[in-house]
Amino acid sequence: MSFLKSLRKPGRFCRLEKAEGGFFLVRADGTAKDAFNALAREAIDRSGSDYVALPVSDGKSGYERVFIMPMD
């Protein structure tokens, strides 16, 4: 399974919110901030020909959400 496909499924650390042109990864309630930040960084690092990842900072040292825009 491609990494993009794995991002399209809700997981332990995030929930999904549909948006025009893609979707948001949003930290799930009760999830440790460090765990979500690690997932967000991995999504950002792996972006490229399959999708673009646009992070939204929490205003401190982490991420509030990440917009994923598939390139298909």
Model-level pTM? 0.86
Enclosing domain of residue 53: 3-70
> What local confidence, expressed as pLDDT, does residue 1 receive?
53
User: Could you write out the three-class secondary structure of 12-56?
Assistant: CCEEEEEECCEEEEEECCCCCHHHHHHHHHHHHHHCCCCEEEEEE
| Position 30 pLDDT exceeds 90 | no
Domain count, the chain: 1
CATH assignment of the domain containing 64? 3.30.1360
Banded model confidence at residue 61, pLDDT cuts 50, 70, 90: confident
